[in-house]
Amino acid sequence: MMALDLTDCVLDRVALSVLEDDAHWHVFDTRYPPGAPLDVQALNPNPNSRARFARPTAGVGMFYVARRERTVLWETVLQHASVDAAGCVCLHPSHRTHQAVVALQRVAAMPVTCLDLRTPHRYRWVDQNTPRDQAWMASLIVLENYAPTHAPAENAARQCAAAGTVLQAIVWPSRRSSEDYAAVYYAPAGAAVPWTVAGTPCRLDSAEGDTRLADRLWDDGFTWVGDPAADPDAQPIPGVL
Amino acid sequence: MADIQMAELRPGARQATLAFKVLRRATFSPERAAAARRASGPALRLYAGDHDAPTFAFIHAATQLFATLTRPNSPLRSLLRAPAGGAPLHWLLFSPQASRLEQIDAFTAAAIIRAVATQDATRDSGDPQGGVVVELVGADTEADTTPEAQLALTEALIDQVWRDVSALSPPGIAAGDVGAPAVQAAPRARTTPAEAARQRREAFLSRNWPTSITVGERLGANHPAQRAADLRAAGRILGAWSAPARTYVHPDCQFDAAGQPLEAMRALLQLLPADGDPGGWRRVFWLYGPREALGGRAPADLLASDPGAVLVLAEAEFGPQASPAEGTAE
C-alpha cells in the first residue's frame, strides 16, 4: 500500500464554510437500525465507519452525502463496478445488497458548517503552495485503506472545537464525478440532524433499484448490466453435469 | 514565473513513497536532474507545467499515469526491453491525447519540461495536455552490473511501483490501454439491464469454453463430465451454465496450458460469493470485468501471471474485512 504522510494535515487557521446546497443524495444500509422504517434508517449515523475522514476514535456517528444522485452512486455501490470500453457497467449484486439511495433536504434553519477541501476554498484555512496544503490534497487520493485520513479529520475537529466552533462536515471534490463534491456529515450523539428525507428511498437491490441504476448510468451514456443470475436461461438444470 | 510540477514515486524496502514537488523552471536543467537522480536512487518521475503548486488535478492525473505506465504489458515495459538505439532508458515523453510513449534524450526532455511549464493550457486544469515527461531512474545505474542485471533490477522497480500505485490509482486513464485507446461507442439504442446481461452472457458462450466433458477428458478422467462436476463441487473450477448446450462451460482463464486448474482458483472461489449464483454467471462477469485496482485489466487476464493481485482484489471486495455496513465507502 502506498505510504502517504498526512501527519501535517492540520489547519493553518480555523475558517469553516457553510454547506452551500440544500439538496443532497445519500446511500445507506437498510439493516440499521434493524426493523426501522427506511426513512429512519436513511438518517441513521454510522459510528463504526472507517471510510474517508471518519473519526473512529471519537466515536462520532456520520454519513456521507453527495450533491447529485449519480455521484453518490459512483462513490458507493458503483465503486466496485467494472466498466468496459463500450460503457457497459457491471457490478456483482452483493455490492448493492441492503443498500438504498435517498434524497435528503437540509433543514433551512440549520446551516451545516464544513471544512471545504476544494480548490480554492481550501485556501481559507490552509496556506497555498505549502507542504501542508499538499498533504491535504494527498488525503484525497487515498484509496481502500482510509485509515490515514482519520487523524486529519479528528485534528480538524479538535482545532475547531478549541476555536469555539463545531466541525459538522468535510467537503471534497468527488473523484468519481469530477463536477461534483462529496461530503461527510458528522452527527454527534444527541444532536439534532439537520437533514430530512425528501422523497421515497429506493432499495438498490430491488427491481426498482435496477431501473434507478440503469437510468442514472444512461444519463451519462453508460449501459447498466443487470444481474445475470436473474435470467431463467442462466439457471442450471438439476442433475445435469 | 511558470514552474514545473513533479510527481515522484520511490520504491522502498516495504512500500513506495509518493511525493509531489514544484521545481523552479529557471533553474531546471538536465545536469541538476542527473545529480538528483544519483542522490535519490531508483524512482519514477513525471513532469508537467503549472504556475504555482501541484494541483489536485495534477495529483489525480499523475497517479493515473503511474498506473498506466507500470502495469503489465505497458508501453514502458516494452520500451525497457527494446529501447530506441539501445540507449539506456532515462527520459520518455508521454502524449496523453495520442496515447503514445516515446524515448527522448535528456536535453530534449529538459526543453520540453521548460516549454510545457509555460503553456497556458496546462495551468488551470493541471491536465498535462502538452505531454508529460517521464523520468525513469533505474536501479543502481552507476553500478558495475551487466545490462541484463540492470534491466532485471529496473523491471523489479517497476513491478513494485505497479503493485503500490495500482492500489490507489483512480479510474480513467488506468483503465485504458495506452497502445490501443478505447474509442467511445457510437450512440446506440438503450437496452434493458436484463437484455444487457443476456447479451454479455451470449458473448461469453460464443467463446467456446470447454464443456464438462472436455475438461474431464483433458484431465484423463474415466468419467469426464463427472470429474468436472466434482471439481466444481470442490471449489476448484468455476462452471457457467449454458442453456443452449445443456451443460456447464468453463472459462478458459482458469486452466494452465495442460488443462489443469490453476491453483489460485481454489482461493478465489472461496472468496467469490456463490449464493444465488448456481449458474456461475455472476462470478464469470466479475472475472471478466476490467478493474481499476488491476490497472484496467480483468481478473481473468491476470489469474495466471499475477494471481496475488486478483486475490487481493477479491479479498477487498468480498473478504471478511469488506464491510458493506459502511453505508458509503468514501
Tens of pLDDT, residue by residue over A8-19, are: 899 999 999 999
Mean pLDDT of B52-61: 62
Tell me which of A115 and B82 has the higher pLDDT: A115
Helix B193-205 crosses helix A207-219 at what angle (to 10 degrees)? 80
Nearest CA in chain B to A176: B171
User: Residue B68 above 60 pLDDT?
Assistant: yes
pLDDT band at A74 (very low <50, low <70, confident <90, very high): very high
User: Residue B120 above 50 pLDDT?
Assistant: no
pLDDT band at B104 (very low <50, low <70, confident <90, very high): confident
Counted across chains A and B, CB pairs separated by less than 8 A come out at: 212
Q: What value of ipTM does the predicted structure carry?
A: 0.90
Q: Is A30 within 8 Å of chain B by CB?
A: no
Chain B, residues 216-235, CB within 8 A of chain A, namely 225-226, 228-229
Domain boundaries, given as residue ranges, for chain B: 3-175, 193-326
Q: Is B31 within 8 Å of chain A by CB?
A: no
User: Residue B269 above 50 pLDDT?
Assistant: yes
Contacts of B183 in chain A (CB under 8 A): 85
Nearest to A46 among B16, B164, B327 (CB): B327
What average pLDDT does chain A have?
A: 92
Chain B, residues 259-278, CB within 8 A of chain A, namely 273, 276-278
Residue type, B191: T
Across the beta sheet with A88-90, what order do the strands follow?
Answer: A82-83, A88-90, A223-224
Distance of CA B277 to the CA centre of its chain: 28
Q: What is each CA distance from B328 to A30, A45, A48, B272, in whole angstroms?
A: 12, 11, 12, 21
pLDDT given for residue B103 in this prediction: 78
Contact A3 B248 (CB under 8 A): no
Mean pLDDT of A184-193: 88
User: Residue B167 above 60 pLDDT?
Assistant: no
Mean pLDDT of A143-172: 92
Question: How close A107 comes to chain B (CA, Å)?
Answer: 22
Contacts of A144 in chain B (CB under 8 A): 167-168, 293, 316
Q: Is B17 within 8 Å of chain A by CB?
A: yes
pLDDT given for residue B329 in this prediction: 39
Contact A228 B282 (CB under 8 A): yes
Contact B324 A29 (CB under 8 A): yes
Nearest CA in chain A to B61: A141
Contact B196 A224 (CB under 8 A): yes
* Whole-angstrom distance, CA of residue B326 vs CA of residue A50: 8
What average pLDDT does chain B have?
A: 76
pLDDT band at B88 (very low <50, low <70, confident <90, very high): low
pLDDT band at A175 (very low <50, low <70, confident <90, very high): confident
* Whole-angstrom distance, CA of residue A208 vs CA of residue A218: 15
pLDDT given for residue A4 in this prediction: 60
Compute the radius of gyration of chain B from its Cα atoms: 23
Contacts of A80 in chain B (CB under 8 A): 317
User: Which positions ≥6 away from A180 have C-beta within 8 Å?
Assistant: A66, A67, A68, A71, A173, A174
pLDDT given for residue B320 in this prediction: 84
pLDDT band at B1 (very low <50, low <70, confident <90, very high): very low
**Class in CATH terms, A17-228:** alpha beta
- What global pTM score does this model have? 0.68
Contacts of A63 in chain B (CB under 8 A): 327-328
Contact B197 A225 (CB under 8 A): yes
Q: Is A25 within 8 Å of chain B by CB?
A: no
Say how many CA atoms lie within 13 Å of B114 toward its Cβ: 12
